Structure 1
Amino acid sequence: MADKKMGRPYKLHPSEIKKWVEKYGENTYLPRGILCVQSLIEDEVIEEEYSMAAYLLFKSVESRIHSCRYSQGIYRGVHCDWSDPISGVSEIINLKPEMWKEWITQTKRFLENDQNQSYRPTIDRINTDPNIGYRLSNVTILPFGENSYKAQAKPVYAFEMGNKQTNVIPIFRRYDSITDAKKDLGLPKLENDTGVFTNTQDGKIVLIQSEQSTTGQKSIEVDSNENEQKVYKGYIPIGQIEIDGQIYNVHQPFTFEQMQIKLKDQE
């Protein structure tokens, strides 16, 4: 006897897979997502014509659950109310009908534009407070293209780090987005809030932070992989000393693996 889950077998019948792929393409083939859609249709929660919309909703909810659970990238420390994607999908369809209606409309645009990822509907938070996170009252729909741009468009700070021979206090510059920072620094790839220094093409050493990290609203991501973590050396000015009439600055060296710089308002 085949194992059952929610009244359905764990595995899809080959004929069901073929039918789905012929209709939507191989790039949309995720068995557990299709099983969720079929369960929703059988339970009369949705009509069959909204299969792709429900499938994309399943994938988006599942992605957020996994990202929050395993603290992946920008989702580190972000709360997620759902423990499984099926419950999240069901809640949104049944309890947020306006969002579900918009999701269906955006899915149609996605299909009409040859499944261009920029048009794919995704789940986004209304309030970005990580403690509120992903919960029914705080989610909305946003096309992938806008969601991606939104993430890139947040302000970042680039701190140019000095050494004991040059500047002790970092020189910093604010950029409207990480895209602007990459363009100005001549770097094709750039990550913020890692606490790790980046070498620019013109020989500068910079530390890139989001505005939230720079103002102390959030902490940098701590890398627990000790085998790959690089150790840096810094210097703290502790005074001056005179030798044969010459004044020398005295610095105390220290080592560190990651750094976070916080700017405070002057009262």
Structure 2
Amino acid sequence: MADKKKGRPRIIPPSEIEEWIEKYGDNTYLPRGILCTQTLIENEIIEEEHEFACYLLFKSIESRIHSCRYSQGIYEGVFCEWDVPLNGVMDIIRHKPEMWQGWIEQTRIFLENDQQQKYRPTIDRIETDPNIGYRLDNIQLLSFRENTQRAVNKPVYAFEMGKNQSNVIPTFRRYDSITDAKKDLGLPKLENDTGVFTNTQDGKTFILQSSATTVGDQSVELDSNESEQKVYTGYIPIGQIEIDGQLYTINQPFTFEQMQIKLKNEA
């Protein structure tokens, strides 16, 4: 790579972001991600035609770094080899060329299919041990759909959270596969290990988790940059009060984007 120029880092002007919107659609584009792609193009590390693939790779790596560094809920204790997203991008391009070429191809498929989420390239851990985490030799490319389908034929747990998420200890049931869970719950679309709520037509609310996630062997993973996040409200009982002879429970509300439920063996 050519020597970096001294002085203040270059700022991406709004006009360049507008160019990205014209080429790749209306979205919130990260100036630092665009700057990364421009730097690699200027230094002839990637071709200009691969700028969007590079941008998506930057966002995915940055998200992993951020989530692991700050132990954001489900990422607590998960190791990440990189501190700087550019370093992760460069390691993949230089040392995992097959993954980089696959990323380019999956980005092309993503664009050709109107950027449907299921076609988006994602970074996936080969081994889910949090101590191994996100290392260069433990990551692979999967489309978002492939990442989801990995657990289709594995046991899953359906935790019923109750209306308004007010149950402190949710009831649960085990299914041999997510296909069985979909059939029993009456949901045409159902994903496990996302850490978000699924609502049934009869008003019930569930969280679906794989067996490995439920016993704590792996963490729920959802890249906040790869899927639209929703904020949910839950309630924790903090006391009781009696009014006119009727006992009422006092609940403390809290908000969250993802949740992981772990079953512990108390024996």
TM bucket (normalised to shorter chain) is 0.5 to 0.7
In the alignment, is the contact (CA less than 8 A) between 1:193 and 1:210 conserved in 2? Answer: no
Where does 1:202-241 land on structure 2 (aligned, <5 Å)? 210-212=210-212, 217=217, 228-230=235-237
Provide the C-alpha distance between the structure 2 equivalents of 1:159 and 1:34, rounded to a whole number of angstroms: 41
Provide the C-alpha distance between the structure 1 equivalents of 2:207 and 2:106, rounded to a whole number of angstroms: 38
In the alignment, is the contact (CA less than 8 A) between 2:103 and 2:121 conserved in 1? Answer: yes
TM-score (ref. length: structure 2): 0.63
Provide the C-alpha distance between the structure 1 equivalents of 2:124 and 2:53, rounded to a whole number of angstroms: 16
Structure with more contact order per residue of length (Cα contacts < 8 Å, sep ≥ 6): 2
Shift of residue 153, structure 1, vs aligned partner: 5.9
Shift of residue 54, structure 1, vs aligned partner: 0.3
Where does 1:113-262 land on structure 2 (aligned, <5 Å)? 113-150=113-150, 154-157=154-157, 173-177=174-178, 180-181=180-181, 184-185=184-185, 210-212=210-212, 217=217, 228-230=235-237, 260-262=263-265
Gaps of 5+ in 1: 161-169, 195-200, 221-226, 233-257
Amino acid of the structure 2 residue aligned with 1:120: R
Larger radius of gyration: 1
SS in 1 for 2:150: helix
CA distance 1:149–1:191, shift in 2 (3 Å): closer
In the alignment, is the contact (CA less than 8 A) between 1:36 and 1:86 conserved in 2? Answer: yes
Gaps of 5+ in 2: 161-170, 196-201, 221-233, 240-260
Provide the C-alpha distance between the structure 2 equivalents of 1:7 and 1:39, rounded to a whole number of angstroms: 15
Shift of residue 219, structure 1, vs aligned partner: 9.2
In the alignment, is the contact (CA less than 8 A) between 1:52 and 1:107 conserved in 2? Answer: yes
Amino acid of the structure 2 residue aligned with 1:129: D
Shift of residue 72, structure 1, vs aligned partner: 3.5
Provide the C-alpha distance between the structure 1 equivalents of 2:38 and 2:194, rounded to a whole number of angstroms: 41
Provide the C-alpha distance between the structure 2 equivalents of 1:259 and 1:209, rounded to a whole number of angstroms: 10
Name the count of aligned residue pairs.
216
Identity %: 58
Could you tell me which residue of structure 2 aligns to residue 80 of structure 1?
A: 80
Provide the C-alpha distance between the structure 1 equivalents of 2:47 and 2:58, rounded to a whole number of angstroms: 16
In the alignment, is the contact (CA less than 8 A) between 2:36 and 2:86 conserved in 1? Answer: yes
